[in-house]
Amino acid sequence: MSARRDVTFAITEYGFSERQACRLLDLDRSSFRYEAQPDRNLALRQELISLARQKPRDGYRRLWAMLSRQGGAVNVKRVYRLYREEGLAVRRPRRKKLVRGAPLNALLTAPNQEWALDFVTDALATGRGLRALTVVDSFTRECPGIEVNTGLSARHVTRVLERIIEQRGKPESLKCDNGPEFTSRHFIAWCAEKKITLRHIQPGRPMQNGTWKALTDASG
């Protein structure tokens, strides 16, 4: 706007022609002559903003559907463009990535020093899913327990571990991944109560729970 104002000043005060003034101030003549058009989408824009304030969690497609019901056919691409121009898009918080250090591989010399835990999934012929909790002694490579069910919560996991502990004693530590059953408050509190060290592997590194994986691969 300041460049257009300067060109106008040069023409009116110094008698320059339009061509001379635009060349002097390095402004294209078409830009100088351009007149902003009134916003043809003003009514639609205001209605869209009003609906978005009433329904702040709705995306542009739902808002477009409501606008179509209220005022007839509205182009969805136009609604999307106005939606973006007005900054109405819902900002989704980025999920924080879980960061863990690599667990130390303890030197195992006896049974019950470390148990490795993980789940195996399968399905019935009907399509219903199954989950199997597998417990492996990292020293003896024994599998003291396999619990199969359609669903295994953290409390179910601790009940299985308590049953195994009654039969063969308590482990010094448990190694597992970062699944919700193994990171729940109940499971962490249970390990603290039993004075069992809990070692989580790094996210996306299943090979760090190699004892369990080697046995399940061999059994499969």
Please report the pLDDT score of residue 162 as a whole number.
95
Instruction: Check residues 69 and 35 and name the one with the higher pLDDT.
Output: 69
**Mean pLDDT value of segment 21-47:** 79
Considering the domain delimited by 114-219, tell me its CATH architecture: 2-Layer Sandwich (3.30)
Distance, in Å, from the CA atom of 166 to the CA atom of 164, rounded to the nearest integer, reads 5
Please report the pLDDT score of residue 1 as a whole number.
53
Query: Which tokens belong to 110?
Result: 């006896």
How many Å separate Cα 95 from the centre of its chain? 4
Q: What is the mean pLDDT of the chain?
A: 82
Cβ neighbours for 211, distance < 8 A, ≥ 6 positions apart: 116, 136, 138, 141, 175
Distance, in Å, from the CA atom of 120 to the CA atom of 35, rounded to the nearest integer, reads 68
* pLDDT band at residue 102 using 50, 70 and 90 as cut-offs: low
Q: Is the pLDDT of residue 108 over 90?
A: no
Instruction: Check residues 155 and 108 and name the one with the higher pLDDT.
Output: 155
Please report the pLDDT score of residue 156 as a whole number.
93
* Range in 9-18, 21-30, 88-97 the model is least confident about: 88-97
Q: At residue 176, what are phi and psi to the nearest 5 degrees?
A: -155, 175
**Mean pLDDT value of segment 183-192:** 92
* pLDDT band at residue 101 using 50, 70 and 90 as cut-offs: low
Identify residue 84 by its one-letter amino acid code: R
- Maximum C-alpha span of the chain: 104
pTM, rounded to two decimals: 0.52
Q: How far is CA 209 from CA 20, 148, 154, 220, in A?
A: 78, 20, 19, 17
Per-domain residue ranges for the chain?
Answer: 2-33, 42-85, 114-219
Query: How many degrees, rounded to 5, is the angle at CA 169 between CA 109 and CA 191?
Result: 95
How confident is the model over 128-140, as pLDDT tens digits?
889 999 999 988 8
